[in-house]
C-alpha cells in the first residue's frame, strides 16, 4: 500500500491497545449525521479534536471508525463516502480509504472512486492487490488492528497529511502517513506526500502530540 511509513492535545494519553469495534453486516452502517457538531476553523481544537462520538464497526473483518458528525455519511456498495470538509473528516477518510484499498476484496472499485493518483500509482495499487491473496475476514478480525490515535501533519482546504498510529511490537506504536485531497466534494486518497512538511516517523512508545481515536460514549 501507498501509506508512508508537538503539544496539540492532551487527549492522546496512551489509550487501550486496541479499539473494540461493533459487529457490522455488509460494508458498514452509517450513523445519522449532525453537521452542526463539526468543528470550525475558529475552534482552538480545529486540528487536534477527534471526530465527534467515534464508534467502531468491522467491515470485511477490519475495524473502521465511524462518526455521527464527520462521516462517512454514505455507503454505496464497497464505497464509504461523505466525509466532512474538516481535519476530522480527513482523518476518517484516510482510515477508511487506505484500509479498504489494503484489505477489501472490492479494492478496484475503491481505487476508481476514491484514489486521486497518477496512472503509475494506480497501476502499482492494482498490481499489489492483484498479486496478493484474499484474506478470510475471520483471520483479518484477529490480525488487523485499529488505529488508536491520529495527528494532522499538514492541512488546507485542498489537501491534508494525516498520521495514523497503530499498536506495534512491545510497547511501541507504528505510524502510517496518509495523504488525502479534497476532490469533487469529498476526501480522496492521494499519492502527493510532502516529506518536508510530514516526514516519516519511526516507531515509538510515545503518542505525544497525537489525539486518541478511542470509542466515545
Percent composition of the chain: helix, strand, coil (DSSP 3-state, to 5): 25, 25, 50
**Cβ–Cβ < 8 Å for 57, 79:** no
d(C-alpha 50, C-alpha 60), whole Å: 24
Dihedral sign of CA atoms 85, 37, 18, 169 in order: positive
The pTM of the full predicted model, rounded to 2 decimals, is: 0.85
Lowest mean pLDDT among 1-5, 6-10, 71-75, 115-119: 6-10
Looking at the domain assignment, is residue 3 inside a domain? Answer: no
Residue 50, number of CB atoms within 10 A of its CB? 25
The answer to whether residue 5 sits within a structural domain is: no
φ/ψ (deg, to 5) at 199? -70, 160
The structural domain count of the chain equals 1
User: Is 1 contained in some domain?
Assistant: no
In the numeric block, the cell 499498536 is attached to 167
Beta strand 186-190 pairing with 115-116: parallel
Q: Please report whether residue 91 resides in a domain.
A: yes
Beta strands in 7-81 (DSSP E): 55-59, 62-66, 74-76, 79-81
Q: What residue numbers bound the domain in which 172 lies?
A: 10-212
DSSP annotation of 86: S
Cα 81 → chain centroid: 12
Kindly state the average pLDDT of the residues 169-190. Answer: 95
Average pLDDT over residues 176-190: 97
**Residue 73 to residue 62: CA distance in whole angstroms:** 19
Give residue-wise pLDDT tens across range 94-151. 999 999 998 888 999 999 999 999 999 999 999 988 876 565 656 555 556 789 999 9
User: Does 4 map to a domain?
Assistant: no
Amino acid at each position: 500500500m501507498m501509506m508512508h511509513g508537538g503539544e496539540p492535545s492532551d487527549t492522546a494519553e496512551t489509550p487501550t491497545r486496541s479499539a473494540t469495534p461493533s459487529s457490522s453486516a455488509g460494508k458498514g452502517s452509517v450513523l445519522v449525521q449532525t453537521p452542526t457538531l463539526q468543528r470550525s476553523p475558529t475552534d482552538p481544537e480545529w486540528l487536534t479534536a477527534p471526530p465527534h462520538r467515534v464508534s467502531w464497526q468491522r467491515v470485511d473483518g477490519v475495524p473502521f471508525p465511524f462518526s455521527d458528525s464527520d462521516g462517512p455519511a454514505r455507503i454505496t456498495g464497497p464505497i464509504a463516502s461523505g466525509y466532512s470538509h474538516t481535519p476530522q473528516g480527513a482523518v476518517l477518510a484516510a482510515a477508511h480509504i487506505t484500509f479498504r484499498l489494503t484489505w477489501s476484496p472490492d479494492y478496484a472499485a475503491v481505487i476508481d472512486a476514491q484514489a486521486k493518483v497518477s496512472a503509475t500509482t494506480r497501476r502499482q495499487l492494482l498490481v499489489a492487490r492483484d498479486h496478493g491473496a484474499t484474506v478470510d475476514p475471520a483471520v483479518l478480525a484477529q490480525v488487523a488492528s485499529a488505529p488508536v490515535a491520529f495527528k494532522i501533519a499538514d492541512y488546507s482546504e485542498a489537501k491534508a497529511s494525516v498520521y495514523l498510529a497503530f499498536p506495534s511490537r512491545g510497547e511501541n506504536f507504528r505510524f502510517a502517513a496518509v495523504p488525502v485531497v479534497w476532490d469533487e466534494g469529498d476526501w480522496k486518497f492521494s499519492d502527493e506526500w510532502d516529506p518536508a512538511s510530514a516526514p516519516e516517523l519511526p516507531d515509538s512508545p510515545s503518542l505525544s502530540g497525537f489525539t486518541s481515536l478511542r470509542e466515545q460514549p
